[in-house]
């Protein structure tokens, strides 16, 4: 029997539909659910960014605090902070450890601990740039970037790197993030690729040499050359010395559009994705012209699947579109075709963790 108009169906009524879950806007099988989940992702990130911008992990790292005390320490409104913490607790960043006389006390979860700047593999310097106003504005201008083929951020600043040159704080966060990411990449590359047959490895655009140091430490007979811009080298020298490999590493300043040192192996980690096809091909040709006859080139980059599967690189490509004048993530076929244009032939592709691939290429015969 159908319920009378205006009445409330009983729980036992087979015609009654279950209400959406408390964590949903619509039923899970509603096609709008996907769109709502994406929208809510923006709200959730805003709560996470506020947590990091207020540096709450710094105050909570030594133990739980109640909302009033935490508000006093970080200089926030206690009522607003309580709402922010409630949401971050739902996200899994903090957890309630006690409620006494209406005063809720929070502690960091393991995920929340990563938001402290001094934590190993800290995520603080990853979150801060994502939520910085200029970067949020850039991501919000994607439609304009697609219409024009050029990002408003690029028009205003020239590139991400040009922007960083004018903002030391943003540069510090970026460098810290890249150092952490490079250590992760280094561990994966050393574990999955045999460098023992290399005599001299040139790390082209290798930052302070994080990956190069890992290779040299794991392969005592390999010599290294870090090829970078002049202003990067003092910090690189200090880092390589701290890693105990400076005695087997030469530091060379230069421009990889002009020339690179001669060697039998080259490493380019997350280099080509920063550049347009034309520029990436030019970089590849520079390396080929310097490579010895039996040399090889190792590229560490993301290769996007050619189908509709989700992939980290597809998300990252939107950031490349928003922040770089020509950089992009590329599909596997597109990437290998680009290498052929540069005079290289990919001999094998080694899948690495974290959506990365190592592409081993040799000069075309």
* Residues 81 and 214 placed together within one structural domain of the fold: no
The mean-pLDDT minimum among 2-6, 127-131, 251-255 falls in: 2-6
pLDDT at residue 19, rounded to an integer = 67
Per-residue pLDDT tens for 225-251?
999 999 999 999 999 999 999 999 999
Report, as an integer, the average pLDDT of 119-145: 91
What is the average pLDDT value for the chain, to the nearest integer? 91
pLDDT at residue 7, rounded to an integer = 41
pLDDT at residue 233, rounded to an integer = 95
Report, as an integer, the average pLDDT of 312-321: 94
Q: Give the DSSP letter string of 93-149.
A: SEEEEEEETTEEEEEE-HHHHTTSTTSTT-SHHHHHHHHSHHHHHHHHTHHHHHHHT
| Whether pLDDT at 23 is above 80 | no
Q: Take residue 111 and report the two structure tokens written for it.
A: 């995920």
Is 119 within the bounds of a domain? no
First and final C-alpha spacing in the chain: 80
What's the length of the chain? Answer: 365
Per-residue pLDDT tens for 181-222?
888 889 899 999 999 889 999 999 999 999 999 999 999 999
pLDDT at residue 3, rounded to an integer = 43
- Rounded to an integer, what distance in angstroms lies between the CA atom of residue 280 and that of residue 285? 9
* Residues 175 and 231 placed together within one structural domain of the fold: yes
User: Is there a contact between 276 and 326 (Cβ–Cβ < 8 Å)?
Assistant: yes
| Whether pLDDT at 108 is above 80 | yes
Q: Which residues of 292-318 are buried (b: 16+ CB within 10 A; e: fewer)?
A: eeebbbbbbbbbbeeeeeebebbebbe
**Segments forming the whole domain that contains residue 56:** 31-114
Q: Which residues are catalytic?
A: 273
* Residues 84 and 220 placed together within one structural domain of the fold: no
* Residues 231 and 268 placed together within one structural domain of the fold: yes
Per-residue pLDDT tens for 84-100?
999 999 999 999 999 98
Report, as an integer, the average pLDDT of 56-63: 96
Tally the domains of the chain: 2
Report the SS3 class of residue 71.
Answer: helix
How large a percentage of the chain has pLDDT more than 90?
A: 75
The mean-pLDDT minimum among 45-49, 163-167, 272-276, 309-313 falls in: 163-167
User: Is there a contact between 274 and 306 (Cβ–Cβ < 8 Å)?
Assistant: no
* Residues 138 and 194 placed together within one structural domain of the fold: yes
Whichever domain contains 103, its CATH number is 1.10.10.10
Is 5 within the bounds of a domain? no
User: Is there a contact between 194 and 223 (Cβ–Cβ < 8 Å)?
Assistant: no
Q: Which residues of 118-127 are buried (b: 16+ CB within 10 A; e: fewer)?
A: eeeebbbbbb
More confident residue, 19 or 143: 143
- Work out whether strand 249-253 and strand 357-363 pair parallel, antiparallel, or are unpaired: unpaired
Given 63, 87, 114, which residue is the final one in a domain?
114
Is 26 within the bounds of a domain? no
**CA 180 to the chain's CA centroid:** 10
- Rounded to an integer, what distance in angstroms lies between the CA atom of residue 274 and that of residue 228? 15
Identify the burial level of 259 via C-beta atoms within 10 angstroms of its C-beta, where 0-12 means exposed, 13-18 middle and 19 or more buried.
middle
Helices H / strands E in the chain, number of each: 16, 12
Res. 178 pLDDT band, cuts 50 70 90: confident
Whichever domain contains 151, its CATH number is 3.40.50.150
| Whether pLDDT at 335 is above 70 | yes
pLDDT at residue 162, rounded to an integer = 87
pTM: 0.85
Res. 102 pLDDT band, cuts 50 70 90: confident
């Amino acid at each position: 029997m159908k319920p009378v108009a205006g009445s409330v169906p009983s729980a036992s009524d087979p015609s009654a539909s279950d209400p959406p879950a408390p964590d949903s806007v619509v039923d899970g099988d509603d096609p709008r659910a996907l769109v709502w989940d994406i929208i809510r992702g923006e709200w959730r990130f805003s709560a996470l960014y506020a947590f990091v911008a207020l540096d709450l992990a710094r105050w909570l790292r030594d133990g739980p605090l109640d909302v009033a005390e935490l508000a006093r320490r970080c200089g926030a409104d206690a009522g607003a902070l309580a709402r922010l913490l409630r949401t971050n607790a739902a996200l899994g960043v903090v957890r309630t450890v006690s409620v006494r006389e209406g005063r809720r006390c929070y502690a960091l979860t393991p995920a929340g601990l990563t938001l402290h700047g001094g934590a190993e593999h800290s995520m603080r310097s990853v979150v801060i740039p994502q939520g910085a106003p200029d970067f949020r504005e850039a991501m919000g201008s994607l439609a304009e970037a697609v219409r024009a083929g050029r990002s408003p951020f690029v028009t205003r600043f020239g590139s991400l790197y040009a922007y960083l040159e004018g903002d030391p704080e943003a540069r510090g966060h970026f460098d810290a993030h890249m150092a952490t990411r490079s250590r992760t990449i280094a561990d994966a590359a050393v574990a999955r690729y045999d460098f023992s047959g290399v005599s001299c490895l040139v790390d082209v655009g290798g930052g302070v040499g994080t990956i190069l140091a890992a290779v040299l430490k794991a392969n005592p007979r390999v010599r290294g050359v870090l090829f970078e811009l002049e202003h990067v080298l003092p910090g690189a020298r200090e880092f390589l010395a701290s890693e105990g490999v400076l005695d087997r590493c030469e530091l060379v300043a230069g421009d990889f559009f002009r020339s690179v040192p001669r060697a039998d192996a080259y490493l380019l980690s997350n280099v080509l994705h920063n550049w347009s096809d034309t520029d990436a091909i030019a970089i590849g040709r520079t390396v080929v012209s310097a490579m010895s006859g039996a040399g090889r080139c190792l590229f560490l980059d993301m290769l996007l699947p050619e189908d509709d599967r989700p992939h980290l690189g597809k998300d990252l490509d939107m950031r490349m579109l928003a922040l770089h004048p020509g950089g992009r993530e590329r599909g596997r076929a597109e990437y290998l075709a680009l290498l052929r244009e540069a005079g290289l032939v990919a001999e094998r592709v080694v899948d690495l963790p974290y959506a990365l691939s190592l592409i081993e290429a040799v000069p075309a015969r």
